Amino acid sequence: MCWRTSFRDIKLMWTVKIFVKIGLIALGFWALKGAGHVFVFALPLLCLITALALLFQLTIPKARLRSMALKLVVVLSVPLFVFCCFETALLGYSSLFLKQGGFKWWYSSKDVSQAELDSKNMDQASRSTGIENMSEEHRSQGEMYQAVGWDVPRSLWKRSVHVEGAEEAYYWMDVLHVHGERKIRRLGQIPAKKKGVERIMVLGDSFTYGQGVAAEDAYPAVLESMMNEGTSAVEVINLGVCGASSEGVLDNLKHFWERVQPDRVIYGVCMNDILPDDYWNIHPYDQAFAFPLPDALKVYLFKRTLSGKFLDRMYDQLLLKSGLRLDYRGNLNKNAAKYSARFLKDINEMAAFVSDRGGKPILGMVLNQYPMESDPLTERVEALIEASNIQLIPSDAYMKKHDGEDWTVHIAERHPNSRAHRVYAEMFLGALGVGPRI
């Protein structure tokens, strides 16, 4: 049985067919890129919409009802059509310009194999540790990188390894990171001080630890190499701990003092050291004005579609620019007065602790991976150090000379690179009276 079809119905039918065909083309493009399970819902849904359109066209006798039914089909098709087009455009952009290889790279869940390690010519010691199965936490990092359009090869991802004696060990940026006692970058106990050897204790956070660079490229190790020049008269002990604030630095100073017995103490100050120790676990403002969607749906959209990632990123940037949401630097600028009192108290306590034990004044310098001629936040932290009993090494010597340079390891790892660490070591070397500053 065939009913007469109005011109309006014909237009609606053609609209549905166009949506379906473009959607199918987009789906095919995704399939070729290896999207797999992510869009498995799209094909049945498109087929269902097509079937409904044809069913309404053939079985509904009344033109008014048929027209209403087709309009409903069109309404259901439009969001899917827009989503398909937008998702395909983002995927094409990421593949062509960011060279990420589309979803095939993004959602691959295979473990890093021994063959891949061998192909990167890693030393035998690192290969012998063996790569554990990549955890869900580590795998989610890859999804996070893609959410902001970062091209991060799998070889640079964080991946756990087993190292005897380490509380935690992993490769990150293709560099081995180990965390020993109290999370310092050292395995085993710190040995007793040798007679005739000068010891320098280096305090700090992840900048001092050397996050993102090899242990021998972190500035404490570079400083030791510079001071010795073929001898072994100076030993530099790196007590940097990732995530430590001035509270944690003070605690490490007290904990390791008797064991290290330092002749000199230096403190590599990171600007976020003025934050409280539990800052990174709280982030009360990071989720301000969160998008009003069920958590399960947000997790799926933001982790499994480019459109969701893009919109989430744009929404976050809009809130940051409007001041409704703060990143850590914005929080520092806004709440510096609140945090400053505790930071000043901590560094004065460090200075008093060393002084009471007959030590020389602590040398402190602000470490910055984005050198610039003028940085209000750096100047604010330096003013606090000057107000304390710690001896400040002004950072403007290297900040002005290298104004505008980017010393970060990678777009996904914003800690200082090996060049920055060498500059820091040269600055400390000059302050210790061994060589000129920069």
Q: Which of 89-98, 117-126, 245-254 has the lowest mean pLDDT?
A: 117-126
255, pLDDT greater than 60:
yes
HEC sequence for 200-269: EEEEECHHHHCCCCCHHHCHHHHHHHHHHCCCCCEEEEECCCCCCCHHHHHHHHHHHHHHHCCCEEEEEE
In a domain, 239, yes or no: yes
- Long-range CB pairs of 368-371 (<8 Å, 24+ gap) are 368/271, 368/395, 368/399, 369/207, 369/406, 369/407, 369/408, 369/414, 369/415, 369/416, 369/417, 369/420, 370/406, 370/407, 370/408, 371/398, 371/399, 371/400, 371/401, 371/402, 371/403, 371/404, 371/405, 371/407
In a domain, 299, yes or no: no
Q: Which of 3-7, 336-340, 399-403 has the lowest mean pLDDT?
A: 3-7
Same domain, 178 and 264: no
| pLDDT per position as a tens digit, 261-317 | 999 999 999 988 888 766 655 455 556 677 777 777 777 677 667 777 788 778 888
Tokens of 87: 């998702």
Q: Against a cut of 0.85, is the pTM above it?
A: no
- Distance CA(171)–CA(179), nearest Å, equals 12
Q: Is 374 exposed, middle or buried (0-12, 13-18, 19+ CB in 10 A)?
A: exposed
| pLDDT per position as a tens digit, 126-180 | 333 333 344 555 555 665 565 555 667 878 888 889 999 999 999 999 999 999 9
pLDDT attached to residue 178: 96
- Mean pLDDT of the region 338-344: 88
Better pLDDT: 197 or 301: 197
What's 377's domain CATH number?
3.40.50.1110
Residue that finishes a domain, picked among 171, 188, 205: 188
Domain count, the chain: 3
- 272 lies in which domain range? 193-282+326-431
CA distances from 322 to 178, 287, 289, 329 (A): 40, 14, 12, 15
112, pLDDT greater than 50:
no
Same domain, 115 and 97: no
Same domain, 115 and 92: no
Same domain, 390 and 266: yes
Same domain, 268 and 336: yes
In a domain, 320, yes or no: no
Q: Which of 162-176, 283-297, 350-364, 371-385 has the lowest mean pLDDT?
A: 283-297
Same domain, 32 and 161: no
